Amino acid sequence: MTPPVFAHGHLRLYLLSLLAESPMHGYDVILSLEERFGGTYTPSAGTIYPRLAKLEEEGLVTKTVDGRKTVYEITDAGRAELAARQHELDEIESDVTDSVRRLADDVRHSVDEAMKSLRADLASAARDARNEARQASRTIRMDIRETASGSLREAEIAINDFRHQLRSDLRSKAARNELTVATVEDLKARLDDVRAGLFRMN
């Protein structure tokens, strides 16, 4: 189980430190946190807004309406609490750095696992294609009544079926942001191997 990004009570103090830098809309607070974590952590509105409301209730922040948005600003009392708890804030900043490293490691691990899975899928697809091609070749040799045009048509159907399935798999990977340039190059090389294998069999 992945440990929480912030220890109990730390997010509250960290929000105060963000607002001490400048007044922000609630959504800007979320974006600022996402930026600090390099995109590896994005808190939900359900996490941020109740805490901002609690800080306002405690007199540590104020809010004003700016059109359709609400702007949150730290009060003198909020700044005083930050000053009194600066040592805790320093520890939180250190924890945030550790959390960013941990989350980045988790992301890298997920990408590595996805790449391994994709390579295995491509290898399996290539093996299946070679087996199907060999079977098709044997069938063509045994069936002397089959015309050349019929053989070509069946081979094209097999290729189209394979291409359709592989395209679907690749789109699924791309939708999960798991399709990289290296993966595409790997795919090209493996497809070249399949094509070369077909010519070697004939």
> Could you report the per-residue pLDDT of 101-112, keeping only the tens digit for each?
776 666 566 666
- Residue 15 has what pLDDT? 92
Per-residue buried b or exposed e for 8-25, using 16+ beta carbons within 10 Å of the residue's own CB: eebbbbbbbbbbbeebbb
Secondary structure of residue 65 in the 3-state scheme: strand
Q: What is the pLDDT of residue 20?
A: 93
Higher pLDDT among residues 111 and 41, named by residue: 41
What's the average model confidence in pLDDT over 93-103? 68
Beta strands in the chain, from DSSP E residues, in sequence order: 24-25, 61-66, 69-74
- In angstroms, the CA 196 to CA 194 distance is 5
Which residues, other chains included, contact 90 with Cβ-Cβ below 8 Å and sequence gap of 6+?
Answer: none
Can you give the pLDDT at residue 58?
Answer: 94
Q: What is the pTM of this model?
A: 0.44
pLDDT at position 199: 67
Percent of the chain with pLDDT over 90: 22
Report the run of H or E that residue 184 belongs to, with start and end: helix 181-201
